[in-house]
Amino acid sequence: MEKTIHINCDLGEGRKFDEQLMPLISACNIACGGHAGNLETMHRTVRLAMENDVEIGAHPSYPDRQNFGRNHLEMSEEDLKLSIEGQVLSLKQITESEGGKMSHIKLHGALYNDAAKDENIARMIIECLEDLDENFKLYVPLKSKISELAMGKFELIFEAFADRNYNKNYSLVSRSENDALITEKEEVFKHVFSMYNNRKISTVSGLELEAKADTFCVHSDTPSSVEIIRFLHKKFAEKGIGVKKN
């Protein structure tokens, strides 16, 4: 049986390369109105995913289109729960109207980062998703609060980032720092292969962390994202490893 690697990408965010990226990935996380996306883009991205046998996931965020969901937003628990629920159900209904099925949920941006480190936010999000009473998989970062609290309540998919550098506490280097992104395709492959094959993350401080990743994310707005994923296909194929498809 061929070895495989699972690659996911955040799509439907108004970027240029969704049609080029979709055939190259295993799963997509579709913006559903919080930081980006609308009914038209959700329908279009769902159809594109189905045409390419790609797993479909919701990508809810703080409702903050102005800052692309990348800043923490002070909200009441009730308002945030209503926003997340509305975003997820919107994509679920659109996916089903197109004849597809939604498989997973992955939080976006600041909400993803907050749920990784803030126990109260993580617990609130888990309660919100449990209230949906759906059997969705949940993408979670390594060594995070949300992964600890969601264990046994959801099927967890542990995610690592192909195009982002890590700090020694498993958090991602802030996008405000110069070394936040990894944009050279050779460096991305080296970073991913270390996590995939050796189960090690090399951090910006030089420390190596233990890694257990089920899926690897390449951001669609990373420069040369299409070229990067094509290069990953090539290099992994040379090692007898294919990119997983539905």
Single out the residue of 30, 128, 141, 37 nearest to residue 83, CA to CA.
Answer: 128
Q: What's the pLDDT tens digit per position in 107-156?
A: 999 999 999 999 999 999 999 999 998 899 999 999 999 999 999 999 99
147: Cβ contacts below 8 Å, ≥ 6 apart? 140, 141, 156, 158
Q: What's the pLDDT tens digit per position in 33-66?
A: 999 999 999 999 999 999 999 999 999 999 999 9
Q: What's the pLDDT tens digit per position in 224-233?
A: 999 999 999 9
In the chain, the number of structural domains is: 1
pLDDT at 237 over 70: yes
Domain that holds residue 232: 3-243
Single out the residue of 242, 149, 243, 161 nearest to residue 204, CA to CA.
Answer: 161
CATH number for the domain that contains residue 75: 3.20.20.370
pTM: 0.96
Cβ(48)–Cβ(19) below 8 Å: yes
Q: What is the pLDDT of residue 243?
A: 97
In the chain, the percentage of residues whose pLDDT exceeds 90 is 95
Q: What's the pLDDT tens digit per position in 63-99?
A: 999 999 999 999 999 999 999 999 999 999 999 999 9
Helix or strand run (H / E) with residue 55: strand 55-59
Kindly give the pairing relationship between strand 137-141 and strand 208-210: unpaired
